[in-house]
Amino acid sequence: MSTVLLTGANGFLGQHLLRELVAAGADVRALSRRDRADADIRALGGTPVRGDVTDVAALRAAMAGVETVFHTAADTNTWRPANAAQTRTNVGGAQNLLAAAREAGVQGFLHTSSVSAYSHLVHDTLREDVPQRGGDSWINYERTKFLAEQAVRESGLPFLIFQPSHILGPGDTRNWSRLIRLVDADKLPGVPPGSGAFADVREIAKAQVRAWQRGKYGEAYLLGGEHASFLELVTEIGRQLGRKTPARATPAFAIRLLAQGKYLASLITKKAPDITPEGAMFTCHDLRVDSGKAMRDLDYRATALPALLADTIAWLRAEKLIA
């Protein structure tokens, strides 16, 4: 049985990846920062080990006997006052893991990055051969995802990099499920004018495990999904929930103006706002992703958006998070 170390096991993607790794016969050590997370890890078949990606000593201890690392942990914050902490986690954490993996003689490092490594500065359809511009971005999240990828590529370890887009699916309590809950409660203030590629978390996890099993290292894979505008997304959510939704998108300038005002207010309150200028940029951007390489190499599938939303909504209802 192969021993793997998984970071971010309590996250949305990490939980699905843990489940898939266990099903594939792996002995999974899951990095855990607190006791209350341990029970969830054990319930999915993993073994919790105490530590986080900023704790070098804990990583060295956790890495003993590990053959492969799956790194999914990340800080997705977009609030500028938290940028330093985000950089420590996303860039420093990746560097710490890579150093510990090299010392332990790990045979493979599978890194979950993001389409954000390319940055909103790229306006073409994303493909793996499109030059990344995250290093030029004013958005710290994009910059840190780019720098973490660079650290992986330059590490000397056999690596695989995965670049998912907008992730949906059962188990989501913090990401796009917030939008679903707003629609369900008739509290959606408006719809941004951007668009995205909506990926199924279950298919992302399966693709990563297939990549690990096939062992073709040195590759990066964009993991996108069905393209839709945010207005189309909200309209479909409303249709499935039986709720009325806006008929048109809010202009980009209004979204950006609102975000800037809330950001300035947050500097006084010292509390992160519900939208930032960085977040406004994401939601006003037109993101298109070509996942052809992953479909060919990893049998990756793009779930139809109505079916993906139906599964997500069914899970939220089962968990009593929506009516």
Question: Catalytic positions, please?
Answer: 141
Q: How remote is the C-alpha of 113 from its chain's centroid?
A: 7
∠ CA(152), CA(168), CA(312), 5° rounding? 150
CB 69 within 8 A of CB 97: yes
Q: What's the sign of the alpha-carbon dihedral 253, 277, 143, 70?
A: negative
Tokens of 241: 């929930």
Sheet containing 47-50, strands listed edge to edge, beginning at the edge strand earlier in sequence: 47-50, 27-32, 3-7, 68-71, 108-112, 159-164, 219-223
Q: In the chain, count H helices and then E strands.
A: 13, 10
Conformation bin of residue 280: beta by default, left when phi > 0, alpha when psi is -120 to 50? alpha
